[in-house]
C-alpha cells in the first residue's frame, strides 16, 4: 500500500498509456480517415487522461452496429406499399433524365437507397429566415387534423420555442396525435414544460440521452435533423431550429438561414424517415397505418429526393450526392455553409472544378458561432483561393444556411454542414431538388447574400500572421475530434 501511495502517478500514467495504446490499435484497425486517425493518436499519446476522455466521448464508431439497426420500419407492409407506389415508370424516368442530362447520375446514385426514392409530384416553397418559417409552420400546426411529427436537433422553451410547444399542447388536447423526438445534447426544455407536454398528451422522446451512466460515445451520433410533418401532407426540412437564436425578431444578432416547405410525394419519404427514428427511440414499439400516408393531390411537377445519412446508412449519402453534383458541374457551383471543414474528396472536387473554368463561389461566415470551427474553416480557404475558387465571408450577421446550387438544375437545402460530423457522424437529412425555377430562386438569394459579404483576395489572405495560421492548423487538426 505504501508503495502504491508513493508511485500513484507513475501507476496512473502507465495505466493511461496501456488504455491509450489499446485505443490506438482499435483506431488503426477501423481504417478511418487518415487525418482523423492521426488526430486521435496524437491526442491519446500526447495528452494523458484528457486524450482518453476525448476518445471515449467522441471517438467510438457505431456505424451499422446493432443500436442503429432500424430496419423494422422499412420491413412493414404499409411502408413497402408506399415505396412501391413511388416507383417511377420508364416514361417518367426518361423525362427526368432529359431535364437533368448528366445530373441524373445523382438520382441513380441514391435511387438504390430504401429511403431516397425520386418523387416528381411536389410543391416546394423556399424560406429564407426563421421569422418566415415560424409564421408558416405555426399556421400549418394550428390547422393539423390527424397528426404532427417533430424531429429536431434544437428545441428550447424560450420565447419562440414556448409558442411552438404551446401549440403542440393545444393540438394534442384537441385529439391530434403529436410525436416529438429531440436531441438530448442540442435541445433544452424545462421540467415544467415537459410536464405540460405530457399532461396534454404529447409523446416526447429524447434521442440517445446523455447520462453519466451511459455517457461514453454518445456525444457523437447526434440527431441533427430538423423535420416537421403535418398530417402526412406537409413537410418542413432545413437549417432552422426552434429557438430565439433563429428568429431575428427575438435575436440580437442577424441570423441568415434557409428552410423549405414541401407538399407532395416527398413528404412520404420524410414520414418514413421520421418513423425509423421513432422506432429507434421507442424501442421498436411501432405499427404504421395507411392513415399516415394520405393520398397526394399535388399538381406541380418538382422532382425531389429526400437524402438521409447517418450511422444507420451503409453509405455517406449526402456527402456522395454533393460530390457527384460538384464533379458533374459544367457552368457554376454556388455553396453556402456555416462550417466548411470538408474531407479531401470534396476539397479536390472543388479545386478541379475551379481549375476547369467552372465558376465556384463559396459563402462562409466571417464570424462563426464557434471559434474552433471558424479557425478550422479558415485553414482550408487558401488552397481553394489558389485553385480559383471565389470565397466570400458573410458580414451582416451569422449565415447558417446549408445550400448548394449547380448549373440551374440541381439544388440542395437541408441540415448537413460541409464538415466531418455531418458527412460521417450525425444523423442528417437534405432535400435534393431537380428544378430550374427553384434553382433560380435559390440563386437569387445567394446573389443577395453576396451583397453582404467581403470577397477574399489570395494575396491579402496569405499575409495572415504566423500565430493565426498556427491556430488554424491546430483547429483543423482538432476539428475531426469535435
Catalytic residue among 231, 244, 279, 449: 231
449 part of the active site: no
Of 326, 289, 308, 305, nearest to 406 by C-alpha is 326
CA distance 308 to 299: 26
224 part of the active site: yes
Whether 262 and 122 have beta carbons less than 8 Å apart is answered as: yes
CA distance 109 to 116: 10
Catalytic residue among 36, 115, 334, 402: 402
Whether 342 and 419 have beta carbons less than 8 Å apart is answered as: yes
CA distance 3 to 159: 59
452 part of the active site: no
407 part of the active site: yes
Using CA atoms, how far residue 219 sits from 11, 185, 202, in Å, is 29, 8, 26
Site of grid cell 440580437: 252
- Please give the DSSP secondary-structure letter assigned to residue 67: G
194 part of the active site: no
Catalytic residue among 129, 157, 183, 407: 407
CA distance 163 to 160: 5
CA distance 411 to 335: 10
Of 413, 347, 333, nearest to 377 by C-alpha is 347
Catalytic residue among 129, 132, 400, 419: 400
Catalytic residue among 117, 128, 224, 334: 224
Whether 132 and 261 have beta carbons less than 8 Å apart is answered as: no
Site of grid cell 466570400: 392
Q: At what angle do helices 371-387 and 344-355 cross, to 10 degrees?
A: 30
Q: How many helices (H) and strands (E) does the chain have?
A: 19, 19
Catalytic residue among 226, 233, 334, 366: 226
Give the residue numbers marked as catalytic.
Answer: 224, 226, 231, 400, 402, 407
Amino acid at each position: 500500500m505504501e508503495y502504491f501511495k508513493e508511485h500513484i502517478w507513475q501507476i496512473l500514467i502507465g495505466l493511461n498509456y496501456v488504455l491509450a495504446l489499446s485505443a490506438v490499435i482499435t483506431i488503426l484497425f477501423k481504417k478511418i480517415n487518415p487525418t482523423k486517425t492521426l488526430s486521435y493518436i496524437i491526442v491519446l499519446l500526447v495528452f494523458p487522461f484528457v486524450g482518453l476522455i476525448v476518445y471515449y466521448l467522441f471517438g467510438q464508431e457505431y456505424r451499422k452496429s446493432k443500436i442503429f439497426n432500424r430496419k423494422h420500419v422499412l420491413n412493414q407492409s404499409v411502408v413497402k406499399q408506399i415505396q412501391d407506389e413511388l416507383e417511377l415508370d420508364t416514361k417518367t424516368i426518361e423525362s427526368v433524365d432529359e431535364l437533368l442530362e448528366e445530373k441524373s447520375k445523382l438520382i441513380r446514385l441514391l435511387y438504390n437507397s430504401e429511403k431516397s426514392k425520386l418523387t416528381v409530384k411536389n410543391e416546394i416553397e423556399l424560406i429564407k429566415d426563421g421569422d418566415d418559417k415560424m409564421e408558416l409552420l405555426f399556421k400549418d400546426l394550428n390547422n393539423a387534423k390527424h397528426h404532427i411529427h417533430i424531429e429536431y436537433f434544437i428545441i428550447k422553451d424560450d420565447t419562440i420555442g414556448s409558442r411552438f410547444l404551446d401549440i403542440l399542447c393545444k393540438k394534442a388536447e384537441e385529439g391530434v396525435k403529436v410525436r416529438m423526438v429531440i436531441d438530448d445534447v442540442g435541445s433544452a426544455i424545462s421540467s415544467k414544460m415537459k410536464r405540460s407536454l405530457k399532461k396534454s398528451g404529447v409523446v416526447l422522446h429524447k434521442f440517445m440521452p446523455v447520462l453519466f451512466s451511459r455517457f461514453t460515445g454518445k456525444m457523437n451520433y447526434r440527431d441533427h435533423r430538423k423535420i416537421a410533418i403535418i398530417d402526412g401532407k406537409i413537410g418542413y426540412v432545413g437549417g432552422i431550429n426552434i429557438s430565439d437564436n433563429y428568429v431575428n425578431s427575438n435575436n440580437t444578432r442577424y441570423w441568415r438561414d434557409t428552410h423549405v416547405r414541401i407538399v407532395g410525394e416527398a413528404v412520404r419519404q420524410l414520414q418514413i424517415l421520421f418513423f425509423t427514428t421513432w422506432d429507434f427511440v421507442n424501442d421498436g414499439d411501432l405499427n404504421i397505418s395507411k392513415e399516415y400516408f394520405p393520398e397526394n393531390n399535388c399538381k406541380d411537377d418538382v422532382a425531389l429526393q429526400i437524402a438521409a445519412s447517418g450511422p444507420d446508412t451503409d453509405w455517406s449519402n449526402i456527402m456522395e450526392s454533393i460530390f457527384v453534383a460538384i464533379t458533374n458541374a459544367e457552368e457554376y457551383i454556388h455553396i453556402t455553409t456555416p462550417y466548411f471543414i470538408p474531407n479531401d474528396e470534396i476539397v479536390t472536387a472543388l479545386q478541379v472544378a475551379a481549375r476547369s473554368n467552372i465558376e465556384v463561389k463559396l459563402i462562409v461566415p466571417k464570424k462563426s458561432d464557434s471559434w474552433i470551427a471558424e479557425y478550422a474553416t479558415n485553414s482550408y480557404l487558401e488552397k481553394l483561393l489558389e485553385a480559383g475558387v471565389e470565397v466570400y465571408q458573410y458580414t451582416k450577421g451569422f449565415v447558417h444556411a446549408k445550400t448548394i446550387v449547380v448549373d440551374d438544375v440541381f439544388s440542395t437545402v437541408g441540415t448537413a454542414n460541409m464538415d466531418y460530423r455531418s458527412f460521417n457522424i450525425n444523423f442528417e437529412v437534405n432535400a435534393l431538388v431537380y428544378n430550374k425555377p427553384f434553382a433560380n430562386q435559390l440563386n437569387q438569394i445567394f446573389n443577395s447574400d453576396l451583397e453582404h459579404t467581403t470577397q477574399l483576395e489570395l494575396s491579402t489572405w496569405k499575409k495572415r500572421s504566423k500565430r493565426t495560421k498556427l491556430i488554424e492548423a491546430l483547429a483543423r487538426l482538432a476539428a475531426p475530434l469535435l
